[in-house]
Homo-oligomer: A and B are copies of this chain.
């Protein structure tokens, strides 16, 4: 399964929508309606994407959001990292480990975890937003009901 949060699914949809005309500013309520999520949820995702540097934001009455780079320069790895955190398999892989992991300094399993994480990351970095963009943008993957299911990877 290796699940991906629903926010990441929304984020992918939103980024795909914005990639259609990446030059123009789009208000949050417009994006929310186009993608098919509630405004508060869209706001949350948009803020996170903007904080990660994937979107530029314009405040004020004529504000909105805009891709900070071209669709060709944004990958799935960027979107996932923005909304889920660093791509890595174990705590050894990416983050700092507090516990008893360091007791075995030369942990050869650790290097394998890191190798797997890198391979996964490379796979995700190989798909650009431009490749995902297609004219009819609508919530196609949200096949699950408002219930619990999350997306699986």
Q: A residues touching B (Cβ–Cβ < 8 Å)?
A: 1-4, 9, 16, 76, 80, 84-95, 97-101, 104, 107-110, 112-113, 115-117, 119-120, 122-124, 126-127, 131-132, 134, 136, 138-145, 149, 151-153
A117 touching B149, Cβ below 8 Å: no
Q: Which residue of B lies closest to A104 (CB)?
A: B140
Contact of A1 among B76, B86, B113, B116 (CB under 8 A): B86
Q: Which residue of B lies closest to A138 (CB)?
A: B104
Measured in the bound complex, the distance between the Cα atoms of B144 and A110 in whole Å is 15
Q: A1-B86, A116-B124, A132-B112 are in contact. Are A152 and B16 (CB under 8 A)?
A: no
Q: What are 10 pairs between A and B in contact, CB < 8 Å?
A: A1-B84, A87-B152, A88-B152, A91-B151, A92-B143, A99-B144, A99-B145, A104-B136, A109-B140, A120-B123
Q: A2-B84, A84-B1 are in contact. Are A108 and B89 (CB under 8 A)?
A: no
Chain B residues lying within 8 Å of A99, measured Cβ to Cβ, are: 142-145
Q: A89-B153, A93-B152 are in contact. Are A119 and B112 (CB under 8 A)?
A: no
Chain B residues lying within 8 Å of A90, measured Cβ to Cβ, are: 9, 141, 143, 151-152
B98 touching A143, Cβ below 8 Å: yes
Q: Which residue of B lies closest to A99 (CB)?
A: B143
Separation in Å of the A97 CB from the closest CB of chain B?
A: 4
Q: Which residue of B lies closest to A77 (CB)?
A: B116
Separation in Å of the A39 CB from the closest CB of chain B?
A: 21
